[in-house]
Amino acid sequence: MKAFARAAFALAAGMALNAGTGRTALAQDTTFRGITLVGNYDPLRDKISVAVLPVSGAFGDSLRAIIQRDLDFSDRFTILPVEGGDVDAARAGGAASGLNYSIFQRLNAAAVVQMTSMSNGIHVALHDVAKGQVVNVGDFALPSAGFSREWRLAVHRTSDEIARWMTGQRGIAATRIAYIRGSGKSAAIRIVDSDGAGEITVPTDENGFGPAWHPSGTMLAYHTYGDVASRIVLFDLATANSRTLATAPRNTQYITPSFTPDGTSILYARSGENGSDIYAVGLSGTDAPRRLTAGRGAQNTSPTSSPDGRRVVYVGNGHGQPELYIMDADGTDARLLTEYDFSDKNYRSDPDWSPDGRLIAYQEQIGPNFQIRTIRATGGAPKQLTSEGANEQPSWAPDSRHVVFTSTRSGVRQLWVLDTETFRMRQLTTSAGSRLAAWSSRLTQ
């Protein structure tokens, strides 16, 4: 009972804060995609209060911790600190489902997640506290080897489904981030889970660089640079096989590969003695690459497709300084996206088009450092997302809400994740020299 009182106090404090922002807790109730919420609910700003009950059985504690963290990292839920004693008290109420909803109501919980270990996975029940009933159930298979990457991914997928039950939108826990860690010859492509756990190293040639995800999440593309012939390489994550898609001729290098949204081809920059131009090449490798830009000595790099595949945003310095341009997918109708100021030493680069098509995140030099900004794909005033340290190389999560980027705010280059709605920031990596992150799509396999 003591622990329960503590939790209730914490909630009361939270409610007081909520009242301080001018939101009225007693307005008309909202039923949003299956969970009844007390008061008006803004899905972008407000968080649903969720209690995740302890899980019995092997790996139960780890499973609960991962689910709680995933929901927390989605920035759409407030995880209530429920302890074993609280649950016993709640059960003692003797409700039909085994939960005393009035106690969770007093905790201000909108939902309770109850998980039960089964022989081949877990059974999940979602309780709507206001309705006092179970509103959704599901069985989730988990690989038997606890803590394996596959097991963790299966748990993340469970989190994402629970998030979908509550908000109508799948979470982004079952995703991974590919990036470069290390410097010089020790630099390598790594892949880490969305929560920062389970890092692996991709076996590449010495100078593997600039990883990009296939839309299916089953394949990476990267390029190589340096004193061996530059290549674009495809790496199959299931089989760990590498395949060279294209080898650059002498005095030329292929850089900044990215897949088109239909997954059938790669956009990349060919950087040589006549500047850098953007090309497209099919994954079959049988068709000749198609050139999309005519730089005439200028430097065009970093192409990224719009999610409908009809346009491409890229970096060009045709006006002198690196700026963002948008062209049609066939290379016609190139237009300056970022506003060019002749009196300014502009430097804008590393664009990434949000999966919902609305925004383009990029880096811009502001003062001595680069900062992350977003601009609408239709142009207009940019919005600055960072200001602490140097912040570069943004990549959108599949929810078009979170962005992973490189930041020096902790002293050395690390990957950080920003929620562009609440501006909450979390550090993803803890090994120095992490950079060039690419966020995968939702991983279904």
Partner 1 sequence: MNATRRIAGLTAALLSATMLDACRHKAPDQPAPAVIPAAGPNADSARAAQEAAARRAADDAARRRAADSAAAAAAAARDAAAAAGALRTTLTAMVHFDYDQADLRPDDRAILDAKVPILTANPAVMIRVAGHTDERGSDEYNLALGQRRASAVKAYLVQHGIAESRVQTISYGEERPMAQGTDEGAYSQNRRAEFEITGGPQTLRKP
Q: How far apart are the first and last CA of the chain?
A: 43
Residue 260 has φ and ψ, to the nearest 5°, of: -75, 155
Separation CA 141–CA 154 (nearest Å): 8
Of residues 2 and 250, the one with the C-beta less far from partner 1 = 250
Question: How near is the Cβ of 249 to partner 1 at its closest, in Å?
Answer: 11
Question: How near is the Cβ of 251 to partner 1 at its closest, in Å?
Answer: 5
Question: How near is the Cβ of 443 to partner 1 at its closest, in Å?
Answer: 25
Of residues 124 and 315, the one with the C-beta less far from partner 1 = 315
Question: How near is the Cβ of 255 to partner 1 at its closest, in Å?
Answer: 5
Under 8 Å CB-to-CB from 364, ≥6 apart: which residues? 338, 346, 347, 348, 370, 371, 373, 382
Of residues 25 and 228, the one with the C-beta less far from partner 1 = 228
Residues found near partner 1 in the complex (CB under 8 A)? 183-184, 187, 207, 209-210, 225-227, 250-253, 255-256, 269, 271-273, 275-276, 299, 301-302, 315, 321-322, 347, 349-350, 363, 365, 370, 392-393, 435-436
Of residues 149 and 409, the one with the C-beta less far from partner 1 = 409
Question: How near is the Cβ of 257 to partner 1 at its closest, in Å?
Answer: 10
Separation CA 38–CA 48 (nearest Å): 10
Tally the C-alpha atoms within 13 A of residue 84's C-alpha that lie toward its C-beta: 4
Helix 2-20 × helix 84-92 angle, to 10°: 100
How many other CB atoms are found less than 10 A from the CB of residue 335?
11
Question: How near is the Cβ of 278 to partner 1 at its closest, in Å?
Answer: 11
Of residues 354 and 393, the one with the C-beta less far from partner 1 = 393
Of residues 136 and 271, the one with the C-beta less far from partner 1 = 271
Amino acid at 187: A
Separation CA 128–CA 131 (nearest Å): 5
Element (H, E) at 158: helix 149-167
The distance of Cα 275 from the centroid of its chain, to the nearest Å, equals 33
Of residues 79 and 229, the one with the C-beta less far from partner 1 = 229
Of residues 60 and 272, the one with the C-beta less far from partner 1 = 272
Residue 235 has φ and ψ, to the nearest 5°, of: -120, 120
Separation CA 389–CA 106 (nearest Å): 43
Of residues 124 and 255, the one with the C-beta less far from partner 1 = 255
Question: How near is the Cβ of 302 to partner 1 at its closest, in Å?
Answer: 6
Question: How near is the Cβ of 444 to partner 1 at its closest, in Å?
Answer: 29
Q: Quick check: 299 and 317 in contact, CB under 8 A?
A: yes
Question: How near is the Cβ of 185 to partner 1 at its closest, in Å?
Answer: 9
What are the structure tokens assigned to 414, written together?
A: 């690390």
Question: How near is the Cβ of 147 to partner 1 at its closest, in Å?
Answer: 33
| Spatial CA neighbour of 314 closest among 341, 296, 295 | 295
Of residues 15 and 432, the one with the C-beta less far from partner 1 = 432
Question: How near is the Cβ of 276 to partner 1 at its closest, in Å?
Answer: 5
DSSP characters for 322-390? -EEEEEETTS-S-EE-SPP-TTS---EEEEEE-TTSSEEEEEEEETTEEEEEEEETT----EE---SS-
Under 8 Å CB-to-CB from 403, ≥6 apart: which residues? 361, 372, 385, 394, 395, 396, 397, 417, 418, 420
Residue 274 has φ and ψ, to the nearest 5°, of: -115, 35
Of residues 105 and 252, the one with the C-beta less far from partner 1 = 252
